[in-house]
Structure 1
Amino acid sequence: MAPLDKAFLANVIDLLLDAVCVVDAEGRFVFVSAAGERIFGYTPQEMIGRPMIELVHPDDRARTLGAVDEIVAKEHKPIFENRYVRKDGRVVHIMWSARWSPEDRVRVAVARDITERKRAESIQAALYAISEAAHAAEDLLALFEQIHRIIGQLLPAKNFFVALYDAAGDWLSFPYFVDEHDPAPAPTTLDAETLSAQVIRSGRELLVSRESSLPAPGAVHPDVGHAAVDWLGVPLGGPQGVFGALVVKSHSLDTRYGPADVELLKFVSAQVASAIERKQAELRLQHVARHDALTDLPNRSLVRDRVATALARARRDHADLALLYLDLDTFKPVNDRFGHAVGDGLLQQVAQRLKRCVRESDTVGRMAGDEFVVLLSHVHAPQDAPAVAEKIRLALCQPFEVAGQHLSLSPSIGVVCYPAHGETGDQLIHRADEAMYAAKRAGGNRVWLAEGGRAPA
């Protein structure tokens, strides 16, 4: 058999799916086979003479130069992986096998494009991470933050938000919204002609570029602010239908989204939707377990936890707090005369009035029956607690209307303060309960301080 000539060998090398690259001692390409164009996006002629390190992803350059030193020292490195930036800006993952030739003073390396394999591995890791996040996150905000971080490892997601639709109230909200230019949009209805609403209504993904025309020009607009360079949204759906949208945006021409990004976001959105529904169900169960079913106020168990937390904060900050324990003086006759339905409606209205009398940072809880507790988490002066209790007494003495019935009642309210009346939550609740009964024995419809001090009416 005749020896193979160089032209034939060159043709054989150009038929390989992997790229053969030769780099000189100064780090410049001196030969690249035809497969290099498919992998790197540059023709061999464009690559020859260029420093190899220029094409390496900036984050991998130091590690790559370290591998070069190892190859020169050991002459052979069977497996090495790094990332290159293609001519079109896309990042490719390369697996190299390289050898140093001391005689020729060149590195001969074979490059295999493993981008798809890495992509599949990243997607699997992301799906697992999203599932884990659903279990580990304390609340929905923490879950959204983790989902943002995970998706940001798959595609550019500097601008990212979640839109959720509440079908019962026809309410589209944006519980998580990160954008380098725009604030979170105000909640709206699903019939709003916005991009997010369109994704949820249609149940289909939507990729809008600034250069392209929007569907129904002038009718559909961004959720907030100015149009992004690229806007990509995919629906979040479950067994009951579409309940939200997952959106990434780009405000820069350097970051663009294409069909591959659409498919990727669609693929992970199923796991994201499952994670959100799982966390929502978990939070609903926690809420039911810690709240009164009739009034939706914290129940006895949650009240005790809130008191313990407030006490720990008060000790740390050397601050005061107060606890009000109240009972409705004439609730039983109302319940007996008009029935439980009216009685339940009255308790619900009482709960709402109590909440309106205190700050958002305070806690109103239902202990049992017609007994309620109000935790004032920070009391500025000794007279503040009786003053709030008197405000509550006056509010509850105003007439109620329930199911067409005009009803009147009055409360007996016991007041205790930390640290004057106890050091623990159980002590404070017990002393407040005793003060409430003292108010009742004195005729009701009054505020009573613990340790015999009746508040001025």
Structure 2
Amino acid sequence: MKRTPYVPSGNLVDLLLDAICVVDKSGHFVFVSAACERIFGYSAAEMIGKPMIDMVYPEDRERTLQAASEIMAGDSKPHFENRYVRKDGQIVHILWSARWSEDDQLRIAVAHDISERKRSESLQAALYAISEAVHGSQDLPGLFQQVHRIIGQLLPASNFSVALYDEQHDQLSFPYHVDEQQPAPAAHSLAARTLSAEVIRSGQTLLRSLENLDQLPAHIRALDCDALDWLGVPLKSQKGAMGALILQSYSHAARYSENDKVLLQFVSTQVASAIERLQMLDRLQFMAQYDQLTRLPNRELLRDRLQIAMARARRERRQLALLFLDLDKFKLINDTLGHAIGDRLLQQVARRIQQCIREMDTVARFAGDEFVVLLEDFQAADHAVQVAEKIRLALNQPYDLEGQPQRVQPSIGIALYPQHADDPQQLLIHADNAMYLAKKNGGNRYQLGLEKHLDCDSPL
């Protein structure tokens, strides 16, 4: 017996999981299948008559228009990929198979949503890229710039910031900040009423958008926020949240979802490990090159800078000077008031010396109560003498230690290149010898090399 063939009810095209789109020569939708609403978020009625290009992600529009021109010229595109912006602001990745119907003057295309596949591929690529960035970056600013670029391949990241929290000083700062509308926030305490502080205090990811605002706690709704969407993810270490990655969007074309929260949380784990590693390397480098008490360059870093400065001075036929400084009777303060007070005095001495020199010059703690100042790029021969006298007067001012004013006076030796020596070690020795001569002659004075004794006219 002959069977009657089955004829499905409704439009067979609307049963397809992929979307069928028909676009006229001017680029407007003239037909879309039911699957378009699932993929793009718009109903058929909303899409018909709408310019196709208006729904394309802005960064993909130029090459999409180029592809459309090639299709209308007869070049079929069976595997063209681009990104569209859904009605809810989310980005979808579409694989198109498209051709041109010359008879109908229409562009006919099948859209396959490959967002999940692209998401997985992008995430794997991002993790690899972050791993490469960790090993390739020499400092945190370089790392943050690379992380920004990597995250921008996963999410809309035109507005991206890294917040870091210094627990010791209770300071939340923003060492990396790129934003279309807002300057970098000022550093503030973790107790401040800001979204960034909230993320780090709670250790929880926070997505604040127009759609979920009513669902958020009242204290978060009350916080200032100019962005349509604000997404913050904590950077977690073993000690807690060390900072946060922050994304903001001021445009309806770029919105964030719960899936974006999960993705950024996953990436943040790798970023936090990278930051910890670079911070550890920075600490080790600091310990190798800087004095832990005064935070001045130590003698090894001074020697490096002196060698470089002398090579530059020799090449450019310029002068440089070394001031070797020792505190008169410092041991007496240590013995009578204790080493803790002595340490505080050394810290204050370091600050005062720094205030007497230019940013281009170097002051280092050489050893104990000995400091060395490297002066570069000066014209007047008496420049070093003037700086030495300025330092002497600054250090002669009383110090407040345990509520009692204390005085410490310096002996300063001055050595000049090329007058006194033409290599770093000899110049240091020359300045050191001059300092001992100043001390031998009563202290609280400067001595210029082994030449004529330039006595200061203050009382000893």
State the TM-score, normalized to the length of structure 1. Answer: 0.80
1:208 aligns to 2:202 (yes or no): no
Write out per-residue CA displacement over residues 117-176 of structure 1, whole angstroms, 9 at most, x where no aligned residue. 222323333333334334433433333333334333433333333333222333333333
Q: Measure how far apart 1:94 and its partner are.
A: 1.3
**In structure 2, what is the equivalent of residue 124 of structure 1?**
124
**In structure 2, what is the equivalent of residue 382 of structure 1?**
381
Q: Distance in 1 between matches of 2:39 and 2:241?
A: 39
How many aligned positions are there? 453
DSSP 3-state at the match of 2:157: coil
Q: Distance in 1 between matches of 2:340 and 2:17?
A: 78
State the TM-score, normalized to the length of structure 2. Answer: 0.80
Gapped regions of structure 1 (runs ≥ 5): none
Contact 2:90 2:255 in 1 (8 A): no
Q: Distance in 2 between matches of 1:318 and 1:311?
A: 10
**In structure 2, what is the equivalent of residue 306 of structure 1?**
305
- Identify if the C-alpha distance between structure 1 residues 197 and 58 changes in structure 2 by more than 3 Å, giving closer, same or farther: closer
Q: Distance in 1 between matches of 2:407 and 2:83?
A: 75
Contact 1:322 1:379 in 2 (8 A): no
Q: Distance in 1 between matches of 2:243 and 2:256?
A: 21
Q: Distance in 2 between matches of 1:244 and 1:397?
A: 43
**In structure 2, what is the equivalent of residue 159 of structure 1?**
159
Q: Distance in 2 between matches of 1:210 and 1:126?
A: 29
1:239 aligns to 2:238 (yes or no): yes
- Identify if the C-alpha distance between structure 1 residues 78 and 3 changes in structure 2 by more than 3 Å, giving closer, same or farther: farther
Write out per-residue CA displacement over residues 247-293 of structure 1, whole angstroms, 9 at most, x where no aligned residue. 23334555443433333333322222222222211111111111123
Q: Distance in 1 between matches of 2:248 and 2:60?
A: 26
DSSP 3-state at the match of 1:415: strand
Q: Distance in 2 between matches of 1:363 and 1:221?
A: 44
Q: Measure how far apart 1:25 and its partner are.
A: 6.7
Contact 2:28 2:52 in 1 (8 A): yes
Q: Measure how far apart 1:387 and its partner are.
A: 1.9
**In structure 2, what is the equivalent of residue 111 of structure 1?**
111
Q: Distance in 2 between matches of 1:118 and 1:364?
A: 54
Q: Measure how far apart 1:429 and its partner are.
A: 3.2
Contact 2:13 2:33 in 1 (8 A): yes
Q: Distance in 2 between matches of 1:342 and 1:54?
A: 70
1:355 aligns to 2:357 (yes or no): no
Q: Distance in 2 between matches of 1:337 and 1:45?
A: 90
Contact 2:22 2:32 in 1 (8 A): yes
DSSP 3-state at the match of 1:302: helix
Contact 1:308 1:425 in 2 (8 A): yes
DSSP 3-state at the match of 1:324: strand
Q: Distance in 2 between matches of 1:350 and 1:193?
A: 38
Q: Distance in 1 between matches of 2:13 and 2:30?
A: 15
Q: Measure how far apart 1:443 and its partner are.
A: 4.8
Gapped regions of structure 2 (runs ≥ 5): none
Q: Measure how far apart 1:386 and its partner are.
A: 1.2
DSSP 3-state at the match of 1:412: strand
- Identify if the C-alpha distance between structure 1 residues 294 and 261 changes in structure 2 by more than 3 Å, giving closer, same or farther: same
The root-mean-square deviation of aligned C-alpha atoms, in Å, is: 4.1
Q: Distance in 2 between matches of 1:405 and 1:308?
A: 41
Write out per-residue CA displacement over residues 85-135 of structure 1, whole angstroms, 9 at most, x where no aligned residue. 444444321112345667877655432111222223233333333343344
The amino acid that maps onto 2:365 is R
Write out per-residue CA displacement over residues 285-338 of structure 1, whole angstroms, 9 at most, x where no aligned residue. 111111123433211121123334555776788865432112344445666788
Q: Measure how far apart 1:38 and its partner are.
A: 1.9
Alignment of 1:135-154 (within 5 A): 135-154=135-154
Write out per-residue CA displacement over residues 176-225 of structure 1, whole angstroms, 9 at most, x where no aligned residue. 34444444443332222332222222222233346846744599533xxx
Q: Distance in 2 between matches of 1:210 and 1:412?
A: 67
DSSP 3-state at the match of 1:111: strand
Alignment of 1:83-122 (within 5 A): 83-99=83-99, 108-122=108-122
Identity over aligned pairs, percent: 59
Contact 1:238 1:273 in 2 (8 A): yes
Q: Distance in 1 between matches of 2:359 and 2:157?
A: 34
- Identify if the C-alpha distance between structure 1 residues 44 and 72 changes in structure 2 by more than 3 Å, giving closer, same or farther: same
Contact 1:135 1:279 in 2 (8 A): no
- Identify if the C-alpha distance between structure 1 residues 210 and 307 changes in structure 2 by more than 3 Å, giving closer, same or farther: farther
Q: Distance in 1 between matches of 2:197 and 2:344?
A: 36
1:284 aligns to 2:286 (yes or no): no
- Identify if the C-alpha distance between structure 1 residues 102 and 9 changes in structure 2 by more than 3 Å, giving closer, same or farther: farther
- Identify if the C-alpha distance between structure 1 residues 183 and 44 changes in structure 2 by more than 3 Å, giving closer, same or farther: closer
DSSP 3-state at the match of 1:436: helix
Q: Distance in 2 between matches of 1:413 and 1:46?
A: 83
**In structure 1, what is the equivalent of residue 223 of structure 2?**
221
Alignment of 1:5-154 (within 5 A): 8=8, 11-22=11-22, 31-44=31-44, 47=47, 52-53=52-53, 55-67=55-67, 77-99=77-99, 108-154=108-154
The amino acid that maps onto 1:221 is L
